[in-house]
Amino acid sequence: MLRRREYCPIACGVDVLGDRWTPLIIRELMVGAHGFNEIHRGIPRVSRNLLAQRLRELERRGLITHEAGKPGRCGTYELTAAGHALTPIVWAMGRWAAEWVFSDPREEDCDGLSLIWRTHQLAIATKLPETRTVVHVVLTGAGGAQGWLDIERPGITVCKDDQGLPVDLALQADTAQMHRWLIGLVPFRDLVASGHARFLGPSRLARAFPTWFDTALYAQALQRADQRRQLDAAPV
């Protein structure tokens, strides 16, 4: 039998956003990724072939544009007006999940390399150090990894390999606990107080480090979820 789509705007929207990867591709473009490799680093669990297929489909649907690169250089992807109109929908999906179905990271959720990569997308340009600063991040436990944040206003370059630059600050932390901080579940001071994070380097940089990143995106939704759990657990 011929399968027919239901004549409904929601059904039509599901055709566009109803797979696992498309909203995440939109998310990466929303937070500043433009090249294929940049997008893939933000979604490392999707295969490169599948990512290329999804990008072609989004271009066909008019949600993104692709400008081919010059010889030896990568092309770039940009959201169209229709793609930009999806951004409040994708953020709303995240806030809904944060309030109703989100929880602490499981071992299989922990991915240190992705976490380190995500920090540069959450950087607050005006809060970054005024002089070039290199931070060596070592994440331990499930999903552990290491990387270097080369911070130079207005942004951060993330390196998986040691570039031989002098390190100004070193941070060692538990991967799961860093995930909890970066998503807004706990303040950084709690990680330090509990021994889940420690710095080696100047105290002024250690104090400033948490202020360089915006961890408040889902804070209100997470707070509402926590308040509801406390009410549910309270004795009658």
Distance CA 236, CA 224 (A): 20
State the Cα–Cα distance between residues 155 and 158, nearest whole angstrom.
10
pLDDT tens figures, 223-234: 999 888 888 877
Q: pLDDT digit string (tens) for 11-27?
A: 888 888 888 899 999 99
Note the pLDDT of residue 81: 97
Contacts of 165 (CB under 8 A, 6+ apart): 134, 148, 150
Q: Show the tokens assigned to 221.
A: 């939704």
Identify the pLDDT of residue 3: 58
Q: Looking at the predicted structure, is the pLDDT value of residue 10 above 70? A: yes
What SS3 class is residue 45? coil
pLDDT digits (tens, 9 = 90+) for 117-164: 999 999 999 999 999 999 999 999 999 999 999 999 999 999 999 999
Identify which of 191, 161, 211 has the alpha carbon closest to the alpha carbon of residue 150. Answer: 161
Residue 90, both tokens: 């994708």
Distance of CA 194 to the CA centre of its chain: 24
Q: What is the pLDDT of residue 203?
A: 96
Compute the distance between CA of residue 166 and CA of residue 69 in angstroms, rounded to an integer.
Answer: 33
Strand order in the sheet with 133-140: 155-159, 145-152, 133-140, 169-174, 197-200
CB-CB contact of 139 with 108 (8 Å): no
Relative to beta strand 145-152, strand 155-159 is: antiparallel
3-state secondary structure of 86: coil
Residue with tokens 């889940």: 196
Task: Give the DSSP H or E segment for 198.
Answer: strand 197-200
* Helix/strand/coil for 224: helix
Judged against a pLDDT cut of 80, whether residue 65 lies above it is answered with yes
* Average pLDDT across the chain, whole number: 93
Helix (H) / strand (E) element for 155: namely strand 155-159
3-state DSSP helix/strand/coil % of the chain, to nearest 5: 45, 15, 35
Query: Each residue of 94-126: b (16+ CB within 10 Å) or e?
Result: bbeebbeebeebeeeebbbbbbbbbbbbbbeee
Residue 236, token pair as written in the block: 């009658």
Instruction: State pTM to two decimals.
Output: 0.87
